[in-house]
Amino acid sequence: MTLFSTTAIVCALRHHGEHGVIARLLTPDAGLVAGYVRGGRSTRMRPILIPGNLVQADFRTRSEGQLGSLSVELVRSRGPLLGEPLPAAALEWMCALTAATLPDEHGYPPLFSALSAVLDAIEAAPAARGWAVALVQYERLLLAELGFGLDFSACAVAGGSNDLAYVSPSTGRAVSRVGAIGYESRLLPLPPFLLDGGEAGWADIVDGLALTGHFLRRDLLGDRRTDVLAARERLVERLKRAIA
């Protein structure tokens, strides 16, 4: 029997048996790990196993490749955010994206840190301007960690790193305003915050979501993940309503 204990973020749940659930948790060092929680659908456990919650998790496995058992204790609840439509949609999307795309038991420490930071930002500032930039940056980081990084280092057409303003939807490489002349409608806008960091206006946030969303659909989600993409569409629609 092997045993390890770690803090973790609850990302996804699936009913298993009459009373239990299989929980998928993102851990700092082991990546996404699944375990069976006995009584996971009970009234005591449901508030603990809310996606987005930070828990102390104890995993036990009997042999390699066998689904282990899991016990959890609540460290930090983000349940109160579920009463706010926009933060709730953001939590749903971030956790669903993570669970749907990461392979099990491959460590991604930068993603754990980044997801923790985004969830903390949503909790600290429910207004989307306080966390939407971090959410887009997380999507970009996830693409990069899984081998689909976007290249904003230089213009794919003319070279150089000045006045980058677009991204090729086919290559993921940046294009300058000069290099894009005549092809602007075929390219994706590159918002400045993805180059320089910092805050962003609503128009740039929407452009950022469109940019990362294109590559998430094409490279990681596709038609097989329509339920996950539906969570993102709910988030984007609520953001647009908040802007209007």
Structure confidence by residue, pLDDT tens digits, 123-149: 998 678 889 999 999 999 999 999 999
For residue 173, tell me if it sits in a domain. Answer: no
> 88 and 102 share a domain?
yes
Distance in angstroms (rounded) separating the CA atoms of residues 172 and 177: 16
Helices 85-101 and 109-124 pack at an angle, to 10 degrees, of 170
Q: Domain span at residue 30?
A: 1-77
Distance in angstroms (rounded) separating the CA atoms of residues 84 and 87: 6
> 138 and 209 share a domain?
yes
> 23 and 99 share a domain?
no
> 35 and 103 share a domain?
no
For residue 140, tell me if it sits in a domain. Answer: yes
Which of 42, 57, 77 delimits the end of a domain? 77
> 100 and 138 share a domain?
yes
Domain count within the chain: 2
3-state SS track over the chain: CEEEEEEEEEEEEEEECCCEEEEEEEECCCEEEEEEECCCCCCCCCCCCCCCCEEEEEEEECCCCCCEEEEEEEEECCHHHHHCHHHHHHHHHHHHHHHHHCCECCCCHHHHHHHHHHHHHHHHCCCHHHCHHHHHHHHHHHHHHCCCCCECCCCCCCCCCCCEEEECCCCCEEEEHHHHCCCHHHCEECCCHHHHCCCCCHHHHHHHHHHHHHHHHHHHHHHHHHHHHHHHHHHHHHHHHHHC
For residue 165, tell me if it sits in a domain. Answer: no
> 112 and 212 share a domain?
yes
For the chain, the maximum distance between any two Cα atoms, rounded to a whole number of angstroms, is: 63
> 13 and 126 share a domain?
no
Bridge partners, residue 108, by sequence: none
pLDDT in tens, 1-39: 567 899 999 999 998 888 899 999 999 999 999 999 998
The answer to which of 41-50, 178-187, 219-228 has the lowest mean pLDDT is 219-228
Domain CATH for 12 = 2.40.50.140
> 99 and 54 share a domain?
no
Confidence of residue 234 (pLDDT cuts 50, 70, 90): very high
Which of 38, 54, 77 delimits the end of a domain? 77
High-pLDDT (> 90) share of the chain, %: 79
> 110 and 226 share a domain?
yes
Which of 77, 112, 143 delimits the end of a domain? 77
> 147 and 211 share a domain?
yes
Spatial neighbors of 64 by CB under 8 A, at least 6 apart, are none
CB atoms within 10 A of CB 3: 9
List b or e across 89-117, with b for residues whose CB sees 16 or more CB atoms inside 10 angstroms. bbbbbbbbbbbbbbeeeeebeebbebbbe
> 40 and 108 share a domain?
no
pTM: 0.93
Over range 193-204, report the average pLDDT. 90
> 124 and 210 share a domain?
yes
